[in-house]
Amino acid sequence: MSSQLYTALDLGSSSIKVIIADVVYEKLNILGVGIVKTNAIKRGNIVDVETVARDIEKALEIAKQEANKDIRSLYVAVPSIHTHIKKSVAEIKFDNKHDIDGRDIEEVIEEAKILPLPREREVIQIIPDYYRIDDIEKITQPKGMTGHNSFEVTGNRVLTSKTHLHTIYKSIEKLRLDCNETFVSSHALGELLLSDEEKDYGSVIIDIGSGITTVSYFEDNILQLSQTIDLAGEDITRMISDVLNVSMKRAEEIKVTQGHSFYDMASDDVIIHIDNLEEDEEPYTQKELADYIEEIVEEIILRSFDVLRKAGINRVKGNVVLTGGTTLMPGVLELTRDMLKKMNVRIGTPKIIGANSPELSVAVGTLTSSYNIETLFGYQSFGDALLVNQDTNSIFENVESVEEVYISNKNTKEQEDYYEEDDYYEEAYEDDNRNGGIFGKIKKKYSSFFE
């Protein structure tokens, strides 16, 4: 019997990623990776459907050729913009004695999707929290249990702009591909990068991409908050372009090859050579440029915790995980640790050969989420054991230290506390008064975070 394929699509602001994988002994096995640069997505929003469809097709073809597989459907990571998370309850009824299986779980989750919606909102996904069978509550693993009257799910319903989601669907429909399921990128990151303990205790993921930074907060083992900030890696590139008076393309090259985000660790010996210097003008050093880069990265971290504060999260008891392509820049981790002295901070990277880069975290997390939901519904099939593919054209650094991603579909801890029903509404971040003295003001206001 052949292995079941999983294909993930990540619509990033600067590039589109497609990953094809199967699962061997409950471990992801990467078969193909396709990455294509795009100019048709701005700050997470598709602005040119035709171009995005072509770029998705290019990325898909690259991945298919590498995997030597034909793909007819995929799972889609929806950028976490315009998101609104609401706790919801849905129920299905039984006429007589009934043993709960994956089809019942799928049916009750579908019921949650069709609950009344605010105008201009659409459901990305339902994240189950716990279940009730008749009078038995707080069930985490309902499969195999017997019900007589009703089966209920309580979970977080993730909503987004209807226009945003339907534009994504339109881009995929042009390729005659089926969309199996959509996952909000924040949830996919949590499935990949956080342990059950971290999700339960209260942890933050800050995904610093090209066009947007996504802030995700997990507590009680479920995604509680997902919001974005319009400040990310592209803004660093634009700043370098302005400071050095070079093109955006050249600024991106300088950022990738010589950029450093922590002034204290940057070097005076690294000279940034550009062609447009005047005869009496000294070239910039890495340390001088780091002074500008550090300011933007610092503001990203400050705004991320401002998002948490506005949502009523005044203390993060768990860990802070940084991910996204911008975290590949030297100094991001060290600067953040210097700012968040009370917290454990790490870089979150997929630990899997062929996709071991933070820029692929959302795509690999989507693979993890797709396997988990098919396991929940009972759709997964298992094939013969295969060798984990190491012959891939997608090469990232430190491959020798990478291990396969283990896919867990078991809850090891029963939840004991009921999460108070709260609505988290998307808040536009005020851009006014963001000039002189902002860092000192925010640090003073939120000193409990940064001491």
Q: How confident is the model at residue 24 (pLDDT cuts 50, 70, 90)?
A: confident
Is the pLDDT confidence value at 3 over 80?
no
> Is 80 exceeded by the pLDDT of residue 278?
no
Domain spanning 84-161: CATH 3.30.1490.110: yes
What 19-22 contacts at long range (C-beta under 8 Å, 24+ apart), as own/partner pairs, is 19/63, 19/355, 19/360, 19/363, 19/364, 19/366, 19/367, 20/63, 20/64, 20/66, 20/67, 20/69, 20/71, 21/367, 22/383, 22/386
With 0-12 CB in 10 A as exposed, 13-18 as middle and 19+ as buried, what is 124? buried
Hunting for tokens 């001088």 — which residue is that? 288
Q: Mean pLDDT, to the nearest integer, of 188-211?
A: 96
pLDDT at 282: 87
- Least confident piece of the model among 26-40, 323-337, 397-411: 397-411
Greater model confidence, 194 or 379: 194
pLDDT at 424 over 50: no
Measured over the CA atoms of residue 73, residue 50, residue 229 and residue 17, the dihedral's sign is: positive
Higher pLDDT, 238 or 435: 238
Closest CA to 380 of 21, 58, 23: 23
Contact residues for 145 (Cβ-Cβ < 8 A; gap 6+): 99, 100, 133, 136, 139
**pLDDT tens per residue across span 166-195:** 999 999 988 888 899 999 999 999 999 999
Classify residue 420 by its DSSP letter. P
Lowest mean pLDDT among 138-142, 173-177, 262-266, 314-318: 173-177
pLDDT tens, position by position, 213-248? 999 999 999 999 999 999 999 999 999 999 999 999
Domain boundaries, the chain: 84-161
Q: What are phi and psi of 347, to 5 degrees?
A: -90, 130
Query: What integer pLDDT is reported at residue 86 of this predicted model?
Result: 94
pLDDT band per the 50, 70, 90 thresholds, residue 342: confident
Confidence at residue 399, expressed as pLDDT on a 0 to 100 scale: 34
What pLDDT is attached to residue 260? 98
- What pLDDT does 441 receive? 42
In degrees and rounded to multiples of 5, residue 149 shows phi and psi of -130, -50
| The dihedral formed by the CA atoms of 325, 329, 333 and 339, expressed in degrees to the nearest 10 | -110
Residue 407 has what pLDDT?
A: 58
Contact in structure between 420 and 144 (CB atoms under 8 Å):
no
- Residues 62-102: tens digit of each pLDDT: 999 999 999 889 999 999 999 999 999 999 999 999 999 99
pLDDT at 418: 31
pLDDT band at 394 (very low <50, low <70, confident <90, very high): very low
Tokens in use for 346?
């790490």
Average pLDDT over residues 127-151: 96
What are the start-end ranges of the E strands in 368-441? 423-424
Query: Taking all residues of the chain, what is their mean pLDDT, rounded to a whole number?
Result: 86
Is the per-residue pLDDT at 450 higher than 60?
no
CB 339 within 8 A of CB 381: no
